[in-house]
Structure 1
Amino acid sequence: MHRHELTDLEWELPAPLIPSAATGRPRVADRQVINGMVYKIRTGVSWRDLPERYGPWKTVYTRFRRYALDRVFTRALQQVQTSADAVGDIDWPVQIDSTIVRAHQHAADTGRKGGSTGREPDDHALGRSRGGLTTKIHLACDSRGRPLAILLTPGQRHDSVCARPLLERIRVPRTGPGRPRCRPDQVIADKAYSSRGFRAYLRRRGIALTIPEKTDQKHHRRNRGRRGGRPPAFDRQAYRQRNVVERCFNRLKGFHGIATRYEKTATSYEAAVTLASFLLWARSV
């Protein structure tokens, strides 16, 4: 086994979910191809520069694109989350945050003038900010720093706008009957998520929140006197756990193909982030 390749235990988790071809020529082994994908996102090399031991680079890329569209890596991530939740390995205080990723010049040539195609958004989750073309990764993780949900947006999109769609992406299926687990017990976030609308949304869902209040919000509330209401509850001890999501981002950006976006389409880049998230889970269970 070479560096950056899946161990036997890590391969056992996604192996049953890999689509198999019933007819046609004998193809490159699935594990060999998946190892090529992992090597690519771990090192950030071009598809054409993949080592020959992983087979033809076009084969690896074609299957990666097919698995991205079929959401194979998403199902693999949900499967390992389901197994962890069944044994009580997931704590449901959830931390949310975002990070900005610079897009490489090769990712900018997306042909966006033609509009959206299929599942791809018009902007391919690429936005222009001070750093140039960027993508923002919104992340929800558990108390051990393992990703529960991922959302990609253009880099200039504000965090508070994406908080609700991000939480609605949390979906951990059950091993037996019953609906998937979608509601965390608590949400821990920084001041960027301190909006009245988001606080009201969490209260409606019965989710405890630990979000500091912005300075201007404090002034507005105090200026209104009694009409301003009471200050929102804030647990300083629980807020100290927010560094967990920052450490999760650090581990994800240990994959060079995640720290810099090389993929042209949002679907492919999200699949790469999901595959990296799956590896974080597989190495923690």
Structure 2
Amino acid sequence: RSRGGRNTKIHAIPDAKGRLLSLTLTGGEAHDCPVSEPLIDTTKAPKKFLADKAYDSAELRKALKKRGTKPVIPNKFNRKKPFSFSKKAYKERHLIENAFCRLEDFRRIATRYDRLARNFAASIYLVAAVVWWIL
């Protein structure tokens, strides 16, 4: 439980079709960057890594470049030395949001009825398998 009640963040890596390749749960107060590197290491190295401003860190960019992946992450407003990124490639990020919307099409995921994180994770894995099968 966090201060606001039961909440969790779903961290996931979808492919170009919106199917989830890898996912994990954290507490709702957890930041995105520390979880991203172990999650990225579980998948094959893609050509591009699309993410939002929450994933803007020099360490993550360095790890992605080491794997041969081009980071397409916009800069936070307070970054001293901004990195360049392809705005054209960033327009593809709606596919990531669509993958999360497909998860939340299932009421059990959207409302988070489960008390235990392991039960909620099991529901997400089941829904991800169904979505993989449909697409």
Per the normalisation by structure 2, the TM-score is 0.91
The aligned runs of 1:6-21 (5 Å cut-off) are none
Identity score, percent: 37
Where 1:243 maps in the other structure, the secondary structure is helix
CA distance in 2: counterparts of 1:133 and 1:251, whole angstroms: 22
Aligned with 2:11 (options 111, 118, 138): 138
CA distance in 1: counterparts of 2:61 and 2:132, whole angstroms: 30
1:280 aligns with 2:100: no
Aligned with 1:194 (options 56, 64, 73): 56
CA distance in 2: counterparts of 1:160 and 1:252, whole angstroms: 22
Aligned with 1:251 (options 102, 126, 130): 102
Please, what is the CA RMSD of the aligned residues? Answer: 1.5
CA distance in 2: counterparts of 1:260 and 1:161, whole angstroms: 26
Paired residue type of 1:207: T
CA distance in 2: counterparts of 1:157 and 1:248, whole angstroms: 21
CA contact (8 A) 1:128 1:156 kept: no
CA distance in 1: counterparts of 2:73 and 2:3, whole angstroms: 28
Paired residue type of 1:261: R
What CA deviation, in whole Å up to 9, does each residue of 1:86-113 have, x standing for no partner? xxxxxxxxxxxxxxxxxxxxxxxxxxxx
Aligned with 1:210 (options 64, 72, 86): 72
Paired residue type of 1:147: L
Alpha-carbon deviation of 1:215? 1.8
Distance change >3 Å, CA 262–CA 138, structure 1 → 2: same
Partner of 2:34: 161
Aligned with 1:234 (options 85, 93, 96): 85
Relative CO higher for 1 or 2, CA cutoff 8 Å, sep ≥ 6?
1
CA contact (8 A) 2:72 2:89 kept: yes
Alpha-carbon deviation of 1:264? 2.8
Distance change >3 Å, CA 183–CA 158, structure 1 → 2: same
CA contact (8 A) 2:18 2:95 kept: yes
Per the normalisation by structure 1, the TM-score is 0.45
Paired residue type of 2:3: R
Paired residue type of 1:127: S
1:150 aligns with 2:12: no
Misfit runs of 4+, over 4 Å: none
Question: Unaligned 5+ residue runs, structure 2?
Answer: none
CA contact (8 A) 1:150 1:169 kept: no
What CA deviation, in whole Å up to 9, does each residue of 1:20-51 have, x standing for no partner? xxxxxxxxxxxxxxxxxxxxxxxxxxxxxxxx
Bigger CA radius of gyration? 1
CA distance in 1: counterparts of 2:63 and 2:88, whole angstroms: 23
| Aligned length, in residue pairs | 135
CA contact (8 A) 2:55 2:73 kept: yes
CA distance in 2: counterparts of 1:269 and 1:164, whole angstroms: 22
Partner of 1:128: 3
